Amino acid sequence: MKKFFAQTYLWLLLALLYAPILIIGVFSFTEAKVLGNWTGFSTKLYTSLFAGGVRHSLIDAIENTLTIALIAAAVSTILGSIAAIGIHNMRGRRRQAIFFLNNVPMLNPDIITGISLFLLFISLGISQGYMTVVLAHIAFCTPYVVLSVMPRLQQMNPNIYEAALDLGATPFQALRKVIIPEIRPGMISGFILAFTLSIDDFAVTIFTIGNEGLETLSTFIYADARKGGLTPELRPLSTIIFVTVLILLIIINVRSRRAARKQENI
Amino acid sequence: MTNNDSIIKIEHLSKAFGDKVVLDDINLSIRRGEFITLLGPSGCGKTTLLRMIAGFLKPDSGVILMEGNDISNVPPHRRPLNTVFQRYALFPHLNVYDNIAFGLKLNKVQSSEIEARVRKALKMVSMTDYEDRDVNSLSGGQQQRVAIARAIVNRPKVLLLDEPLAALDLKMRKDMQMELKQMHQELGITFIYVTHDQEEALTLSDTVVVMSDGKIQQIGTPIDIYNEPVNSFVADFIGESNILNGTMIKDREVEFIGHTFECVDEGFGNNAPVDVVVRPEDIYIIANAENAKFTGTVKSCIFKGVHYEMFVETDKGYELMLQDYNAFEVDSTVGMFIKPSDIHVMQKERTCNVFEGKMVSSTDVEILGGQFQCADCGLKEGDNVYVSVNFEHIELMDNKEDGTVIGEVEFILYKGNHYHLTVLTDSGEKVYVDTNDIWDKGDIVGISVNISDLHISKKV
């Protein structure tokens, strides 16, 4: 009996968690304009999503979102990794202080970050657009990269950098051939984190995107919803994004499971 | 020794981290092809010295000469020497082959030659057939072999080894010691080895450099270091020993533990206070007490494998450590002898504490960062003075607030019937104390001195 309740509770919880996504997934295979009406199975929304023409602004928004996310993730990975190495090599109180300063922006509400960046760009007289969104995203992603690279540096045997120098590597060669390979997993997870944070972001983007008609996915959906009713093509889009993320997660899980098993066998 | 003979010469090398002096005016000459060991307790500066030779640290003052050239400011990657680190420091993302080939690839050696040299190095450390293994899959001993191969494959002029065997278990350590010694003979290059294990140092080295407190205490062959320690620190650190206060009555005659012994030392003067070292295995013990030089009662007897270790209280109340192949019953009376050549006499490093200080009033003197009351001896405020206090007149107190100044017990030497302590005060000065109380290293104590025990003289 106890087991029955435990099982029921578990499934109920999972159902609640996944119901919204499932509903969107199911209704992406029908043509109805209003979500909730089932007018028979169809893949028309999927084809019209990629057909372009009418809904070109949505495709534009997706493109902007992805390119901004890629640039922001790449730049913040480089900046964050360099910063992490620098912080790691500091000593005592200085190191703690800088690390603390790194962590503050992550806890700062996005809306505050957004407003302050908005004011910064205004006061510097920078006209807002694609560039300012990218800069803003780099700014809020970098601390997360620092945070994901730091543990790798801390786990690293402190002598291996010296060992590389000792074997004739210049400081730069030692960085390239020894330190970077060691922190690469941290850099990759930092990159992925930055990428998803950037795609996800609305609060900072809306304040830095300007009013030249540039849209990312999040601002597009927001504007669309305000106009009344969501564009039906958002349903297949959401489904595709969800399935992609799901597949990615499964791949990452399987890989890390395999790596763990390999470690155990040694 | 001609100058050409020495491959590394260290002159007046000093280094401090903040306020703490870790190396204090080190002078050392290392011969080409020598196996030299830097030996000392942790914190003595041996690793700092090695890291400075490797180039990871810059000296505050002094120079390091390699074959006559000053290398003090040459970065590590341009020094013709290689290091074997304590925790191996292999590159985890590379396999065994690529780890060993790392230095050769950087030096743009041809790949056919790299392969031949890596194989030769692997053979040298008995790790043939391990080329493709992941370094994380190797045991500690195997990783250390790879680390050694990675260093020697570059044919350095000098190989630096920083406690390379410290992380291995005893059996593996013994095996590796023999292999290292053999490797040194085969390669013919200079080895500079750092360890805190005195047995390892004595086994491996041509020359041992005993260090303590950032200073070199003694340089010599293992036999010299063991048989002729220059001071009580070296005698205590190397092997087991009985270190006792004595008096050199005249040449070849020394008094200690209440008896007069014939010895082989000369030139200390008459009635000079000295330290006497007798190794536990050099005291002969017999059951028949009548014909012995001196007698005693066995207090404890412990089996140690090859020998028994015994503590004996002598007829004059001194405690001695002895080692013998035969066991003697506890509480039995035994007789003992010491051969003249087994008595080692050392100059006393000091006979009383001398502190530099300043008068704060005619009856108060400031020394060791605190104010001590003293008898009025006609000096006035502001006078710079020397204050001397006998070892036994320093009082140590459990409750640190009770003392005039606070210190930490740094070093303890048992002298047969009392302890000789070195206490480091908060002001960074050393106070030497003779006491019968038992203290532990690291104890924080209050230090005070009776008014009448301070002997003050004006500094001129």
B91 in contact with A at a CB cutoff of 8 Å? yes
Contact A167 B106 (CB under 8 A): yes
Average pLDDT, chain A: 87
Q: Which residue of B has its CA nearest to A184?
A: B93
Residues of chain B with CATH 3.40.50.300: 3-232
Contact B83 A181 (CB under 8 A): no
Residues of chain B with CATH 2.40.50.140: 240-347, 353-458
3-state secondary structure of A227: coil
Would you state the pLDDT for residue A240? 87
pLDDT at A266 over 70: no
Contact B82 A167 (CB under 8 A): yes
pLDDT at B310 over 60: yes
B136 in contact with A at a CB cutoff of 8 Å? yes
More confident residue, B378 or B79: B79
- How close, in Å, is residue A161 to chain B by CA atoms? 9
State residue B298 phi and psi, 5-degree precision: -70, 125
Sign of the alpha-carbon torsion through B93, B99, B103, B107:
negative
Spell out which residues of chain B touch residue A181, defining contact as CB-CB under 8 Å.
91, 93
Residue A74: pLDDT band with limits 50, 70, 90: very high
Predicted confidence (pLDDT) per residue in B96-119, tens digit: 999 999 999 999 999 999 999 999
This complex has an ipTM of 0.77
B85 in contact with A at a CB cutoff of 8 Å? yes
Say how many C-beta atoms besides its own lie within 10 A of residue B76's C-beta.
Answer: 25
Give the Cα separation of B192 and B140 in Å (integer).
21
Interface with chain A: mutation pick from B52, B74, B77, highest number of A CBs within 10 Å:
B77
Would you state the pLDDT for residue A220? 86
Predicted confidence (pLDDT) per residue in B218-254, tens digit: 999 999 999 889 988 898 898 888 999 999 999 999 9
Predicted confidence (pLDDT) per residue in A204-238, tens digit: 999 998 888 888 988 888 888 887 777 787 888 88
- How close, in Å, is residue A162 to chain B by CA atoms? 7
Spell out which residues of chain A touch residue B86, defining contact as CB-CB under 8 Å.
159
The count of C-alpha atoms lying within 13 angstroms of the C-alpha of B435, restricted to the half-sphere facing its C-beta, is 17
Q: What top-level class would CATH report for the domain B353-458?
A: mainly beta
B137 in contact with A at a CB cutoff of 8 Å? yes
**Environment class of B11 (CB within 10 Å of its CB; exposed 0-12, middle 13-18, buried 19+):** middle
Q: Which residue of B has its CA nearest to A266?
A: B137
pLDDT at B2 over 50: no
Mean pLDDT of A60-87: 94
- How close, in Å, is residue B5 to chain A by CA atoms? 25
Predicted confidence (pLDDT) per residue in A16-35, tens digit: 999 988 888 888 888 887 77
The pair of structure tokens assigned to A80 is 């964050």
Contact B92 A173 (CB under 8 A): no
Spell out which residues of chain B touch residue A159, defining contact as CB-CB under 8 Å.
85-87, 89
The alpha carbons of chain A give a radius of gyration, in whole angstroms, of 23
Q: Which of A162, A169, A171 lies nearest to residue B106, judging by beta carbons?
A: A169
Count how many pairs of residues, chain A against chain B, have C-beta atoms within 8 Å: 69
Q: Supply the pTM of this predicted model.
A: 0.79
| Cβ neighbours for B312, distance < 8 A, ≥ 6 positions apart | B285, B296, B297, B298, B299, B319, B320, B322, B334, B336
Q: Which of A160, A166, A173 lies nearest to residue B82, judging by beta carbons?
A: A166
Q: Which of B87, B106, B107 lies nearest to residue A159, judging by beta carbons?
A: B87
Contact B54 A166 (CB under 8 A): yes
DSSP string, B432-451: EEEESS---TT-EEEEEE-G
Domains of chain A, earliest start first: 57-231 (1.10.3720.10)
Q: Which residue of B has its CA nearest to A262?
A: B137
Chain A residues interacting with chain B (CB cutoff of 8 angstroms): 157, 159-160, 162-171, 173, 177-178, 181-182, 263, 266
Would you state the pLDDT for residue A52? 57
State percent of chain A over pLDDT 90. 45
State residue A13 phi and psi, 5-degree precision: -60, -45
3-state secondary structure of B32: coil
Label residues A80-97 b or e (16+ Cβ within 10 Å = b): bbebbbebbeeeeeeeee
Average pLDDT, chain B: 90
Contact A159 B85 (CB under 8 A): yes
Residues 209-248 of B with CB under 8 A from A: none
The alpha carbons of chain B give a radius of gyration, in whole angstroms, of 27
Mean pLDDT of B206-212: 94
What superfamily in CATH does domain B3-232 come from? Answer: P-loop containing nucleotide triphosphate hydrolases (3.40.50.300)
Residue A263: pLDDT band with limits 50, 70, 90: low
pLDDT at B152 over 90: yes
Q: Which residue of B has its CA nearest to A178?
A: B91
More confident residue, B5 or B125: B125
Q: Which of A166, A171, A182 lies nearest to residue B93, judging by beta carbons?
A: A182
**Fold adopted by B240-347:** OB fold (Dihydrolipoamide Acetyltransferase, E2P) (2.40.50)
Contact B55 A165 (CB under 8 A): yes
Range of lowest pLDDT (A40-44, A260-264, B6-10, B136-140): A260-264
Would you state the pLDDT for residue A97? 92
Spell out which residues of chain B touch residue A169, defining contact as CB-CB under 8 Å.
77, 102, 106
Mean pLDDT of A67-76: 96
pLDDT at B4 over 60: no
- CA B385, distance to chain mean position in Å, is 33
The pair of structure tokens assigned to B226 is 């063991």
Mean pLDDT of B165-169: 86
Range of lowest pLDDT (A177-181, B27-31, B199-203, B290-294): B290-294
Would you state the pLDDT for residue A235? 85
pLDDT at B3 over 80: no
Spell out which residues of chain A touch residue B103, defining contact as CB-CB under 8 Å.
167-168
